[in-house]
Amino acid sequence: MPLQGRRVLLIVTGGIAACKVPELVRLLRKAGAAVRCVMTGAAQQFVTPLTLSALSGDKVYTDLFSLTDEAEMGHIELSRDADLLVVAPATANLLAKMAHGLADDLASTVLLATDTDVLVVPAMNVRMWEHPATHANMATLRTRGVHVIGPDEGDMACGEYGPGRMAEPEAILEAIEHHLAAPAGPLTGRRVLVTSGPTHEPIDPVRYIANRSSGKQGHAIADALARLGAEVTLVTGPVALPDPPGVRVVAVESARDMLEACRAALPVDAAVFAAAVADWRVAASADQKLKKQPGAETMTLDLAQNPDILATISGLTEGRPALVVGFAAETERVVEHARDKRARKGCDWIVANDVSAAAGTFGGDANTVHLIAGSEDVDSWPPLSKAEVAERLAHRIAATLGSAAS
């Protein structure tokens, strides 16, 4: 039983997805975990405390001001007497409370009082999930190290379709197992930084400069490294991808934000810069939406160079990772341009890939890469899925760091 002896505090909030929680409790108990539940008042409209108490074999806590509960297990102890706090379903309301530090019921108070890792499983209407306020709250929580699984996309009880469905109990269990029972691997004890996705450089409050990167390759690399035991920090631009299990995710928007987050993640043993960072930004983005000017057929934007994240980290004299890996997204003369980039940036390896329209790399699930580890050292891999590329690269990194340690 992979979770034998581990303790999970399950916080259940109000929403139709709460009907999936009894199955999650059953799976956790079957895997060996001890489960204790906290329920909000709204959650009790969908599932009874008696149901979860019977399945968990423990008392269910519902009231912040229960004198009996406080005498037996005060909310401070409740928040810390667990190896992991899981919020499922996590409603927009509770996520907002977490982001803003509110504590007006037992669930939000427990979350504010804890110093234990937290995994949230969002579930809400698609419009609520896509609202800018929810996006901002999720970005805040990710920055604070809160782990996220889902939401899934599909039909909803309200009749709409889109992202917002709570992840299935089996997927939640897998994420919990990964977090609490990750097996030792060749990268256990190693810290790795990975960047992923595009950056968005604002033109005005509603427009931005971006590129077609989906983040699939960077996220796959972070996942592969974590499964080898590494402590991974994933700094990602805006993507429509779930967070890899067991990975600390820092969500950013611009290149300058990404550089700041990368600096904050140091020191690390290795850094993989897979993000497609915009080379240019608008020198002075507008505070208000730019309007068409009568009679003007063109508009000129003054662009300024963005910071070079790969070159900056590669050139550090103190705190430089032992291994720095860059990516070269090229549309022609792929290996030649990648060799030149490796020399200019000062990184150890370059992973070169063809991102021309015919290759279908941006947004697709396959990749053809060349690993350049020296001026004449080129390892051309066959066409592989992005997950397979990530696996190969992760094992190569593990072997290199292992050799350096010995």
294 is in an annotated binding site: no
DSSP SS3 for 207: strand
CA distance to 9, 35, 61, 62, 109, per residue, from 78 (Å): 8, 12, 9, 12, 10
Instruction: Note the pLDDT tens digit of each residue in 209-230.
Output: 999 899 999 999 999 998 898 9
DSSP SS3 for 247: coil
What are the chain's domains?
7-181 (3.40.50.1950), 191-405 (3.40.50.10300)
309 is in an annotated binding site: yes
Give the torsion sign (CA, 38, 40, 46, 49). positive
20 is in an annotated binding site: no
Structure tokens at 151: 């939401």
pLDDT at res. 295: 85
Query: Do 233 and 224 contact (CB within 8 A), yes or no?
Result: no
pLDDT at res. 277: 95
- Which residue numbers in the chain have pLDDT < 50? none
pLDDT at res. 330: 82
pLDDT at res. 374: 79
327 is in an annotated binding site: yes
pLDDT at res. 158: 72
Instruction: List, by residue number, the catalytic residues.
Output: 158
User: Please, what is the Cα angle at 241 between 238 and 246, to 5 degrees?
Assistant: 105
pLDDT at res. 70: 60
- Round to whole Å and give the CA distance between 163 and 128: 10
- Round to whole Å and give the CA distance between 352 and 340: 11
pLDDT at res. 76: 72
DSSP SS3 for 279: coil
Q: Is the peptide bond between 267 and the residue preceding it cis, with omega within 30 degrees of 0? A: yes
Show Cβ contacts of residue 296 under 8 Å, excluding neighbours closer than 6 positions. none
Which residue from 242, 230, 109 is spatially nearest to 168, judged by alpha carbons? 242
Which residue from 96, 124, 130, 127 is spatially nearest to 112, judged by alpha carbons? 96
- Round to whole Å and give the CA distance between 279 and 246: 31
What burial letters (b/e) apply to 23-48, b meaning 16+ CB within 10 Å? Answer: ebbebbbebebbbbbbbbebbbebbe
Phi, psi of 313 (to 5 degrees): -70, -40
Query: Do 199 and 278 contact (CB within 8 A), yes or no?
Result: yes
User: Please, what is the Cα angle at 267 between 174 and 263, to 5 degrees?
Assistant: 95
pLDDT at res. 306: 96
pLDDT at res. 180: 85
pLDDT at res. 342: 94
DSSP SS3 for 94: helix
341 is in an annotated binding site: yes
- Round to whole Å and give the CA distance between 135 and 89: 17
Structure tokens at 141: 């929580």
Burial of 200 (0-12, 13-18, 19+ CB in 10 A): buried
